[in-house]
Structure formats: C-alpha cells, structure tokens
Amino acid sequence: MISICIATYNGEKYIMEQLLSILKQIKDDDEVIISDDGSKDKTIEIIQSLHDSRIKIYQNIGKHGFTHNFENALNHVNGDYIFLSDQDDIWLDNKVEVVMKEFKNCDLVIHDCKTINDHMEIIQNSRFNAFNIKKSFIQHLIKSRYLGCCMAFNKKMLETILPFPKNEKLVEHDIWIAAVGLLYFRTKLIYQPLILYRRHDKNVSDGGFDKGYSITNKICRRIYRVFNLIKIKFCNNNKIS
C-alpha cells in the first residue's frame, strides 16, 4: 500500500492539477493524506469536489508551518511506502512505477525533477545537474539541495525519522529525512526527472534557491542536525541496525 502525503496551505490555484496527476497513478487501496494548515481559500473545497475515497483530509491543529504540517500528515499514514508531495507541482506519468521498482534494494528514494515557472516554462531541465547533486552525506551536510517532493521511503524509515527534531528553524523536514536516510539507511538517487517542480511567488519554501542564512545560523543548523542524528542512533538502535 502506498501513502502519499501532501501538506496544503492556500493552494487552490494548483492543487487540482497536482491531485489529478497523482490519482491516476495509484491503486484503489492506496491513500492520499492531506494535512491542511488552516487554508483560508478554497483548497479543501476543491479537494472534496473530487469525491475520491482515497483522499483523507486532516487539519494540522498543532504548531503551524510546512515542516509540522508534513509531520501531521506522516502521523496518519497506513501504507508501507510513503511519498511526499507539494501542493503545486505535477507528477509525471511514470513516477510511481519508476520509484516503486527501486524499493527492492533501498529504503529512501530521491529522484530528479524539472523546474518550471508559473507559466509552465522550464527553468531547469535537471535539478541534479544544476546543483551537482550526488549521494553524499557530507555534501548534504555542507549544502543540502534535496527536495522533499522528490522523496519516497518505506515504513521502516518512517518509524525512525519521527518525531522530527523540535526546532524546525534549524532543520526542515526534507533536510532531516535525507540526512537520516544517507547516514543510516539504503538510499538511492534516480537521475531521471519524475515531477515538474513549480516555482512561483507564493511557494511556501524556497527550494534551496535562497542563500540568505548567516554564517552563524548555518553553523548552528549543522550542529543541531548532527546532534539529533547522533541522538537517534542511541534512541532507535533497534530500528536502524
């Protein structure tokens, strides 16, 4: 069973297109977990208009922000394989098929993507090439370029990554998931774009395009991440051995 987690917030403009690109790829017993962070627009109304029993909507009643919103979604999954999805991208038709084949030999899959703008024009044909992305924990620690919307992982890994570290300002959900996967689990990079990653003026996260952190903040972020990675080694040894 596959669980697809989507964190939504005022996503009425693109959510229908994204959901349609996902639903046609999954089976009747799979699920799409929507965690909404208090949308003020018609996001929920649009989702409900699909009348698809595979879609399950939950409100994020805890701390707000995209990292906590994704954590809320992950706390409701029932599947053996979990895909993360943003509300405003488009999945290419072969994404689920390609990713699922890799789970025979790995726990975390991270794939490439094409970046588009608000007018569906391609900005980057390959994020992996643009940012020289490799499967490297050290590279990830120095400068992370992995995207959560390009990640999928199995239930074994889910049990280790949760709960997320408390301070989301020092480690976002996708940075944390990639760090845990690269350090403790079998991780596979797929050098094939499987989604259209949309950048527009209302993106909730910066997608790694912003370099605005101070040196002090960058050091604190990396120390905090390493501390929490060491911590899970001792707290979850039975899950990662």
Q: How many CB atoms lie within 10 A of CB 93?
A: 11
Please say if the pLDDT value at position 233 is more than 90: no
What is the band of 240 on the pLDDT scale with cuts at 50, 70, 90? low
**Degrees (nearest 5) of the Cα angle 82, 109, 168?**
65
What is the band of 209 on the pLDDT scale with cuts at 50, 70, 90? very low
Identify the H or E element spanning 159. Answer: helix 155-161
One of 3.90.79.10, 3.30.70.890, 2.60.120.370, 3.90.550.10 is the CATH number of 2-240, namely: 3.90.550.10
CA quadruple 210, 63, 68, 156: dihedral sign = positive
**Tens of pLDDT along 122-142?**
999 999 999 999 999 999 999
Location of structure tokens 């990830």: 140
Strand 2-8 to 90-91 pairing: unpaired
- Copy the structure tokens of residue 182: 């690269």
Location of structure tokens 């919103």: 69
- Copy the structure tokens of residue 73: 């979604």
- Mean pLDDT of the 210-231 span: 89
Strand 187-198 to 90-91 pairing: antiparallel
Please say if the pLDDT value at position 19 is more than 60: yes
CA quadruple 108, 113, 115, 119: dihedral sign = negative
**Tens of pLDDT along 52-78?**
999 999 999 988 999 999 999 999 999
**Amino acid residing at 194:** L
Per-domain residue ranges of the chain: 2-240
123 HSE (CA, 13 A, CB side):
15
Calculate the dihedral angle through the C-alpha atoms of 20, 21, 23, 26, rounding to the nearest 10 degrees.
170
**Tens of pLDDT along 153-199?**
999 999 999 999 999 999 999 999 999 999 999 999 999 999 999 99
CA quadruple 62, 223, 158, 162: dihedral sign = negative
SS3 of 172-189: CHHHHHHHHHHHHCCEEE
Contact at 8 Å (CB) between 104 and 150?
no
Residue 120 has a pLDDT of 93
Question: What's the burial of 173, exposed, middle or buried (CB within 10 Å: 0-12/13-18/19+)?
Answer: buried
